[in-house]
Amino acid sequence: MVDKDPALNDVAPKSPRFYGRRKGRPLRKSMKRRLDEFLPEFVFDPSVCPNIQFGRHSDCYLEIGFGGGEHLAGLAAAMPDCDFIGAEPYINGVASLLRYIDERELGNIRIWPDDARLILPNIDTASLAGAYIMFPDPWPKRRHAARRILQPALLDQLAKIIRPGGRLVLASDDPTAKSWLLQTTIAHFGFVWTARRPADWRQRPADLPETRYMKKAERAERQSSWFQFRRCEGQVQAIREETPKI
């Protein structure tokens, strides 16, 4: 289990309740080797300033729940002057990201192989340039709404650690999840939705890498949406009387 990793024992606070998988199919030997050999090198230490861990002062972004790591690796490759922290409890996904890091020789990623909520309180105020939550588990049933990763408490923490003017990007291909992501974030005082026309949420932003999951959603005729928010200062007054149909 990830929480037994000696690299985490001294820094991990008490876990919030987590819903979802931590392990999948048995890992191939090559993937196990990457976990054993490379993960300690790339583990994010929440007790140490990211500038120190990356060895430079640069814009730093967080991806919560990076899945197989394809999107995060694509960002890191396209933005070599920026640094990235990826949080993912699914150990198979962590192994997958390590493969991308190895094959693409990416040095600007650090990994938290556990629940992102464990490290958010340790990240300095206004220290991040932005955050991504891409295609999270939708938990579409109403009785499971509390299991959805994006909650007001999480937005409170993101509003604290993302600097004014910073970026929060959310995406989903599930109708229930899309409505939840959009309505929950619009209601928060710390963020303002930047969309001005339907194409702003119906089309993938040009600076976000396309992934195999996105292509799979298209083949299945599931319409993906991308919601971009800007971190603002003070309270945000409602600029729309109702949420546009997505």
The amino acid at residue 162 is: I
Neighbouring residues of 236: CB distance < 8 A, sequence distance ≥ 6: 188, 189, 190, 191, 192
Matching residue, tokens 């990007």: 169
Count of CB atoms situated within 10 Å of the CB of 164: 12
Contact 138, 171 (CB under 8 A): no
Contact 101, 41 (CB under 8 A): no
Catalytic residues: 137
Neighbouring residues of 35: CB distance < 8 A, sequence distance ≥ 6: 27, 91, 94, 95, 98
Burial 6-31 (b: 16+ CB within 10 A, else e): ebbeebbeeeeeeeeebeeeebeeeb
Helix (H) or strand (E) holding 176: helix 175-186
Give backbone dihedrals phi and psi of 125, rounded to 5 degrees, phi first.
-60, 135
Count of CB atoms situated within 10 Å of the CB of 108: 19
Contact 77, 106 (CB under 8 A): yes
**Beta bridge pairs of residue 17:** none
Give backbone dihedrals phi and psi of 39, rounded to 5 degrees, phi first.
-60, -45
